[in-house]
Amino acid sequence: MNERNILVVAHAGRDDTVDAARRVIELLRTAGARPVLSPDDRAELSAVDENFSDVDALGEVVPVDELELAIVLGGDGTILRAAELVRGSVAPIVGINMGHVGFLAEIERDAMDDAVERIIARDYVVEERLALSVRVKDSDGAVVFETWALNEATVEKASRERMIEVVVEIDGRPLSSYGCDGMVISTPTGSTAYNFSAGGPVIWPGVEAISVIPLSAHALFARPLVVSPDAAVAIEMLERTTGTGILWCDGRRSHDLPPGARVVVRRSSRPVRLARLHPSAFTDRLVRKFQLPVAGWRGSDGGRTA
């Protein structure tokens, strides 16, 4: 039988996360699976506890395409890092929240042992989330940078004192130009992240769409847009702009944008896969994570809403 390789993603910055990583690795080994750490995580954790040094390293001993699943110990930022680590494989990600808002995290840490047991039993469903393909072209139209995003791609001003001037294009047609601090192009998964902070709409995960939000735009038409998931969204740095810009994808991957640069964003052919142990209504997740007031709700009369 093939080895069951389970990636554990954790950092050494918090004692409870180190303890959780130690426990998850122990449970996986007891169940006959092989725990795997990224080289960076293994180095950081080994500096705290040398016992982590005997865990096999991703890419050195275990190829990414041989991963079965990734267990993430942390918040949404750690899950985004895990998505980067498993990119190129079909391994789904399950998040164990370690005290953050954790919108993407599936379960809380007090249910960690049960979660590992269910992962070993393959007792979960896999949910595919729309991801973005992102390309940067220079003023001559040549592709100079390619990446992807699970939450969002943002075009932002690189200098605090200068705004940027951009024109937005949807499916090959110009929509509007803006003098602004930037633009956010978000997936439904990212709609509760930067998109939400910028005043964009919360999009239910079952809705396939892409949102486009101007940041502090000097324009009358500066409302958030929701476009087809198959639309091509382009943000072009106008040649007349006096500032330079920068592209950020999930806050992790960046590229400088001089005047004339063009960022093209569309649906990626490769979604991100999330393992769900306790599928629940997204409405309940919103209420719980944002602590929304629902006192006085009388119920839906046996499941009916009308």
* CATH number of residue 111's parent domain: 3.40.50.10330
- Asked if 150 and 63 sit in the same domain, the reply is no
- Predicted pLDDT at 301: 66
Average pLDDT over residues 4-22: 93
Check residues 279 and 127 and name the one with the higher pLDDT.
127
Domain-located, residue 301:
no
Q: Which two tokens mark 265?
A: 């964003």
Whether residue 297 lies inside any domain: the answer is: no
Q: How far apart are the first and last CA of the chain?
A: 53
- Is residue 76 domain-shared with residue 172, that is, in the same domain? no
In this prediction, residue 197 carries a pLDDT of 94
pLDDT digits (tens, 9 = 90+) for 135-180: 999 999 999 999 999 999 999 998 877 889 999 999 999 999 999 9
Residues 116 and 25 in one domain: yes
What mean pLDDT is predicted for residues 279-299?
88
126 in the same domain as 85: yes
Q: Are residues 33 and 141 in the same domain?
A: no
Are the beta carbons of 56 and 3 closer than 8 angstroms?
no
Residue 1: the pLDDT is 45
- Pair 170, 233: CB distance under 8 Å: yes
pLDDT of residue 258: 93
CATH of the domain at 212: 2.60.200.30
Q: What is the pLDDT of residue 50?
A: 94
The pLDDT-based confidence of 13 (bands split at 50, 70, 90) is: confident
Q: Would the pLDDT of 79 be above 80?
A: yes
Residue closest to 28 by CA, chosen among 119, 90, 106: 119
What is the phi/psi pair of residue 179, to 5°? -95, 120
Q: How many helices (H) and strands (E) does the chain have?
A: 6, 20
Residue range(s) defining the domain that contains residue 276 = 5-130+272-290
Is 212 domain-assigned? Answer: yes
| Domain assignment of residue 304, yes or no | no
Task: State whether 263 and 284 are in the same domain.
Answer: no
Domain finish residue from 252, 267, 282: 267
Joined together, the tokens standing for residue 177 give: 């130009």
User: What is the C-alpha separation between 147 and 134, in angstroms, rounded?
Assistant: 5
Annotated catalytic residue 41: no
Q: Are residues 113 and 141 in the same domain?
A: no
How many domains would you assign to the chain? 2
pLDDT for residue 127: 94
Establish if 296 belongs to a structural domain: no
Confidence of residue 105 (pLDDT cuts 50, 70, 90): confident
- 24-38, 99-113, 185-199, 234-248: which has the minimum mean pLDDT? 99-113
Per-residue confidence (pLDDT) for residue 241, from 0 to 100: 77
Tell me, yes or no, whether 69 and 115 share the same domain: yes
Q: Is residue 245 part of a domain?
A: yes
Q: Tell me, yes or no, whether 295 lies in a domain.
A: no
Mean pLDDT of the chain, nearest integer: 92
Judge if 117 and 139 occupy the same domain: no
Higher-pLDDT residue of 162 and 21 is 21
Which of 41, 76, 181, 250 is catalytic? The answer is 76
| Nearest C-alpha neighbor of 189 from the set 157, 151, 160 | 151
- Same structural domain for residues 141 and 244? yes
Which tens digits make up the pLDDT trace of 209-244? 999 999 999 888 899 999 999 999 999 999 887 778
Task: Please indicate, yes or no, whether residues 105 and 180 belong to a single structural domain of this protein.
Answer: no
Residue 3 has pLDDT above 90, yes or no: no
Residue with tokens 């001993």: 61
- CB within 8 Å of 229: residues ≥ 6 apart: 130, 208, 209, 210, 267
If pLDDT is split at 50, 70 and 90, which confidence band does 99 have? low
For 54-61, what is the mean pLDDT?
Answer: 95
DSSP H helical segments within the chain, as ranges?
Answer: 15-30, 39-48, 76-86, 112-120, 194-197, 282-290
In eight-state DSSP terms, residue 89 is B
Supply the pLDDT for residue 304. Answer: 57
Statement to judge: residues 136 and 256 lie in one domain: yes
